[in-house]
């Protein structure tokens, strides 16, 4: 009996040690914090290793085909009704058509945009949409380098193998609530677009389809000329939550938490984001929304407008779309002729 008790105690102790080692083996890796700005201001980037593998897998780019020759006949001299890409060589044209098919309609192939047997026809509305989107991509690569830098964009940046990008938005209908909720000013619906908060559930129409003023903080107390109502600040905050979630970052990726409004104390990505907001406005107003007249009902939102872009359309959870893969370098066909 005297021998059994020490043995039992030793067994319990060993079992305890074993459980400690087992629990440590299955412990979740902690978030990683990296200082990104001034010390003492909370300008820290936080990443979660548990999400990294999934993000990397979702942001891989397809292998680029062998570069095409630039010599020979222009594509416009061979193919009918070629309103874009006519400046490319026949070999370049075939290469970019093959790539676009893989990026946008891998299941349907060429017939995703073209009328079978009559590629020159414009009867398939998707071809007319694609034509305008190519013009948009070239415009972004030429005129919005302040945002996309030399990385540029391609069709794959947004589409990722889908006919319609998965991250889009349209004007939200009125929620139709009654009673006290009827005057909620588009709030208190816990919408995914604003991180399931009670903030206004449509942070896009005002700022990404119109020229809404995002700055609501004055530089002095009781400034003359009126003040912004609290609803303006809540709408801006909703947009900021969307940007944060779309890029997979927190507020201090761009802002100095000591002085959110100060540009001189902000992190450089804030300027990149400033250009990005205006770029999205540009493409929504001048390229996407005008297409509503040729889109079927299935390609429009509940209020009849076109499905439009926001920050998540390209970024999809990472601060550099496709983890910064320089796809434009491999597809010079998507640069304007003057830049190739």
In the annotated binding site for heme, the residues are 97, 110, 113-114, 133, 147, 155, 158-159, 240, 251, 254-255, 311, 314-315
Instruction: Compute the distance between CA of residue 102 and CA of residue 126 in angstroms, rounded to an integer.
Output: 15
Instruction: Compute the distance between CA of residue 294 and CA of residue 301 in angstroms, rounded to an integer.
Output: 14
Q: Which residues are annotated as a binding site?
A: 97, 110, 113-114, 133, 147, 155, 158-159, 240, 251, 254-255, 311, 314-315
Instruction: Compute the distance between CA of residue 235 and CA of residue 220 in angstroms, rounded to an integer.
Output: 21
Q: Are strands 32-35 and 44-47 parallel, antiparallel or unpaired?
A: antiparallel
The full 3-state SS of the chain, as one line of letters, equals CCCHHHHHHHHHHHHHHHHHHHHHHCCCCCCEEEECCCCCCCCEEEECHHHHHHHHHHCCCCCCCCCCCCCCCEHHHCCCCCCCCCCCEHHHHHHHHHHHHHHHCCCCHHHHCCECCECCCCCCHHHHHHHHHHHHHHHHHHHCHHHHCCCCCCHHHHHCCCCCCCCCECCCCCCCCCHHHHHCCCCCCCEHHHCCECCCCCCCHHHHCCCCCCCCCCCCCCCCCCCCCHHHHHHHHHHHHHHHHHHCCCHHHCCCCCCCCCCCCCCCHHHHHHHHHHHHHHHHHHHHHHHHHHCCHHHECCCCCECECCHHHHHCCCCCHHHHCCHHHHCHHHCCHHHC
Q: Are 75 and 92 in contact (CB under 8 A)?
A: yes
32 forms bridges with which residues in the sheet? Answer: 47
């Amino acid at each position: 009996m005297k021998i059994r008790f020490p043995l039992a105690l030793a067994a319990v102790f060993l079992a305890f040690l074993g459980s400690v080692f087992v629990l440590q083996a299955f412990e979740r890796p902690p978030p990683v914090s990296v200082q990104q700005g001034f010390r003492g201001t909370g300008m820290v980037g936080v990443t979660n290793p548990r999400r990294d593998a999934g993000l990397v897998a979702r942001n891989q780019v397809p292998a680029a085909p062998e570069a095409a020759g630039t010599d020979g006949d222009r594509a416009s001299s061979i193919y009918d009704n070629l309103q874009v890409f006519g400046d490319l060589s026949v070999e370049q044209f075939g290469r970019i058509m093959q790539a676009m098919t893989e990026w946008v309609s891998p299941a349907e192939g060429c017939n995703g945009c073209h009328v079978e047997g009559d590629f020159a026809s414009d009867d398939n509305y998707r071809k007319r949409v694609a034509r305008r989107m190519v013009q948009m991509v070239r415009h972004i690569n030429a005129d919005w380098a302040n945002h996309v830098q030399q990385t540029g964009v391609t069709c794959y940046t947004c589409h990722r193998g889908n006919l319609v990008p998965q991250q889009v938005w349209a004007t939200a209908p009125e929620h139709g609530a009654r009673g006290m909720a009827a005057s909620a000013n588009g709030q208190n619906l816990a919408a995914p677009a604003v991180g399931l908060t009670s903030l206004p559930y449509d942070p896009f129409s005002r700022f990404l389809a119109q020229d809404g003023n995002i700055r609501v903080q004055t530089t002095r107390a009781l400034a003359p000329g009126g003040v912004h109502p609290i609803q303006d600040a809540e709408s801006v905050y909703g947009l900021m939550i969307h940007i944060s979630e779309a890029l997979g970052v927190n507020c201090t990726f761009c802002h100095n938490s000591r002085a959110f409004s100060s540009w001189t104390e902000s992190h450089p990505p804030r300027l990149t984001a400033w250009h990005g907001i205006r770029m999205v406005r540009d493409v929504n107003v001048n390229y996407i929304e005008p297409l509503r007249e040729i889109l079927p009902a299935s390609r429009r939102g509940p209020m009849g407008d076109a499905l439009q872009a926001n920050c998540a359309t390209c970024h999809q959870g990472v601060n550099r779309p496709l983890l910064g893969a320089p796809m434009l370098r491999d597809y010079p066909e998507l640069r304007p002729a003057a830049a190739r």
